[in-house]
Amino acid sequence: MTDPKVYLLDGGTLVIDESDVHWHINAGNPVRFPVYSVLVEHADGLILYDTGYDLDHVNKVLPFELPEQTKHQTIPGQLAKIGFKPEDVDIVVNSHFHFDHVGGNKYLTEATTLVHKLELRQAKVPEPFERLGYSDLSFDHPGVKYKPISGDYEIVPGVSLFETPGHTIGHYSMLVEMKNERNMLFCGDAAYTRTTLTNEWIAGFHLDPTKSVEAIRRLNYLGRTKNADIYPSHELEPYLTWKLAPDYYGGN
């Protein structure tokens, strides 16, 4: 059986303080980090995990994050590099609904959005300290088709979501299983960096620090038991070694 094709879509970069990357570590040290999405071309459908940020929104609401994004780094631009259009996407999954993971949802007008039922509620009525994180509600565009889910969930055979809450209340990580290559585990913001996974250093922005540590331990367990390479969300050094679209993993 042929493996699905997995494309990593370059969504540009942002800047945050290192104390937000690793809680209480090196305050006052700005870090530029990548934002990316994952497109899975599967026999049963085209699946997009996370959709990056909207440049206009960040410039207006969070300009201190110093966004750098070209039109080719938007979801339409990245899909075009592979030969797809936004309306070709069948399923969109957001690891969570923070602004840097939902900015391209509005283009995916034909997709069904899989959403943890707790995450959707939280995005609409966040805690005060979460309001900037949930500041881009364009994912809730007219005509959006939600499929609320909870618990671990198989999207299609070999592509599964695992609950990893803590960063947010309804956070999901995604495992793509391969027959001919190593499996791929995408952390979302449950793990910003490899150091997050090694040292169990959670991000500075979180809803529940205890659950955040539990999520890191779960990711390490899944990586070990599922024979998967683990892909953190926001670390430039490993990102620069990955294949980016139009190159892909799998397909063999």
CATH number at residue 38: 3.60.15.10
Does 92 fall in a domain? yes
| 187, 232 contact by CB (below 8 A) | yes
In a domain, 251, yes or no: no
pLDDT, residue 186, reads: 98
Residues of the chain with pLDDT under 70: 1
Indicate the residue type of 120. Answer: L
- Separation of alpha carbons 14 and 16, rounded Å: 7
Q: Is residue 248 part of a domain?
A: no
Write down the pLDDT at residue 2.
85
Residue 232 lies in a domain: yes
Q: What pLDDT, on the 0 to 100 scale, is given for residue 1?
A: 65
Catalytic residue ranges: 100
- Per the domain annotation, does 71 fall within a domain? yes
Distance from chain centroid for Cα 119: 14
In a domain, 150, yes or no: yes
State how far the Cα of 89 lies from the Cα of 198, in Å rounded to an integer: 34
Which burial class, exposed, middle or buried, applies to 71 when counting CB atoms under 10 A from its CB (0-12, 13-18, 19+)? Answer: exposed
The pLDDT value recorded for residue 250 is 96
CA dist 185 and 50 (Å) reads: 14
Asked if residue 250 belongs to a domain, the reply is no
Model pLDDT for residues 20-39, shown as the tens digit of each residue: 999 999 889 999 999 999 99
User: Is the entire prediction scored with pTM above 0.95?
Assistant: yes
Secondary structure (H, E, C), 141-166: CCCCEEEEECCCEEEECCEEEEECCC
* Residue 216 within a domain: yes
Which is nearest to 198 in space by CA: 166, 226, 230, 174? 230
pLDDT tens per residue, range 35-56: 999 999 999 999 999 999 999 9
| Structural domain harbouring 9 | 5-243
Looking at the structure of the chain, the number of domains it has is: 1
| pLDDT of amino acid 27 | 86
Q: What is the pLDDT of residue 36?
A: 98
